[in-house]
Amino acid sequence: MNICASCGREFEADSDAEALCPQCAAESLSIHPSKPTTGLPGTPLRPVQEAPAPRRLWLPSPTLLLIALNTLVYLAMALQGHGFFAFDSGLLLRWGANSGALTSGGQWWRLLTSTFEHGGLLHIALNMWCLYNLGWLAEMLFGRPRFTLLYLMCGIGGSLGSICWRGNGLSVGASGSIFGIAGALIPAMALQGNPQLRTALKSQLSSVALFVVYNLAFGAAVPGIDNAAHIGGLLTGLALGAAYPTGIDRRMHRRQGRALAGTLLVLMAFFAAASFARRNNQGYIEADYAADAYSRGDVTSAVAHAERAVSLKPQDAHSQFMLGMLLMDQHRYSEALAPLVATTQLRPRFGPAHVELCLAQFELKRLPEALASCERGVQLSPTEAEPWLNLGRVRYTMGNIGGARDALAKAVALRPQGFEENLQYALLLIATGETGRAVPYLQKAHDLHPQDAHVTRMLEQAKQR
């Protein structure tokens, strides 16, 4: 095997003296059509006919096409999201972000669409810079069609790795594909059959290996980076890079069987990973079904799905809180206690769980426990009106009138347009003999809900005093 002195590709030659591959040799002849050549000994000289120009691929570099496609998706998302530097989770999901519940719940297309999304300007800039630097080398070694297939399959492998390991975490970006390209380059260069080309690529091999090691270590150390997608893409790339042939030679057709076998094995691994993800994420899928059922008004089905989600993923605070809220919505306070307590244990600093637990305990007349839960809710969410409202109600029921007044006044200050806040504060003022001061708050409650006959009657009575 020889190395082409022009393009650097490996080709099969009849002698070691041949320096150009057939394609570059044809290009050289087409550039110098007047250059004579000799025939066989004893034959007259023949003028050299101009060699036909080599075939031009109609597609430009797939690396540049992929960079352009990623950039176009980013710009379209920026226009729709009215932002440029970062996107919220809702926009990412609408554009096809990868999610354990949605993807393994049947929306498998997210495995691929998520690889063309990015979460912000810095995210896409770093990924496209890496793709530009690795893509040209992969194109040269594998060829454009195989490189494109490699990119797409490594992206899918990264997405599968994410939902298998991280579960329901949101994931976007081309980094799985990029790690896959790096992974494919390692065996392609290390196992290169031509010793001259292997020597020429030695420095490139070291750089790619260092890129992989450094970025995996960085991803493990920094929160928020989806290292599972990196590893999934890397493993896919290592397998395909060992199977796919490199260079252009006359024996290429003999290597196609190995490439096909490698591709089929990777696809089988994909199916196995998808099956595992479906089983592993079933709890998240049930929680997603519960949310859909509740949005349709089917609370009974929503509770059933939420209960299955909790039984499958008892350590998932989101499912526990959802079940607790659904039971509270049906006034099943005693049943709501267990999932709400579990939520506060799984996420001790999640204020809304303590607030809902306070309300359930209050309805069940467990006042000391309700007071502790309300005080914790206020401590964790001091700028929210609802914790102060519930704290005021609990304090009033327990006879702490001064404490109740302070809490309800805080609730009204935080949410001056709140019906319950104005009504409860007015009722407290009336109960303490300050009917005149209660009138503005009763008037506000009446304006917010003029159809409420009870509030209208209390307002009329207060004005008459």
Residues noted as catalytic: 175, 230
DSSP annotation string for 370-410: HHHHHHHHHHH-TT-HHHHHHHHHHHHHTT-HHHHHHHHHH
**Contact (Cβ atoms closer than 8 angstroms) between residue 230 and residue 179:** yes
**Contact by Cβ (8 Å): 92, 172:** yes
For residues 42 and 92, the answer to whether their CB atoms sit within 8 Å is no
d(CA 271, CA 45): 63
CA 423, CA 462: separation in Å to the nearest integer? 13
d(CA 60, CA 73): 19
Q: Residue 256 and residue 330: Cα distance in Å, rounded?
A: 63
Instruction: Give the separation between CA 194 and CA 47, rounded to whole angstroms.
Output: 36
Supply φ then ψ for residue 10, to 5 degrees.
-85, 135
Two structure tokens written together for 263: 């591709």
| Helices 435-448, 453-464: crossing angle, 10 deg rounding | 150
CA 229 to CA 175: how far, in whole Å? 7
User: Which pair of structure tokens corresponds to residue 188?
Assistant: 């392609």
Q: Which residue has the tokens 């060829």?
A: 143
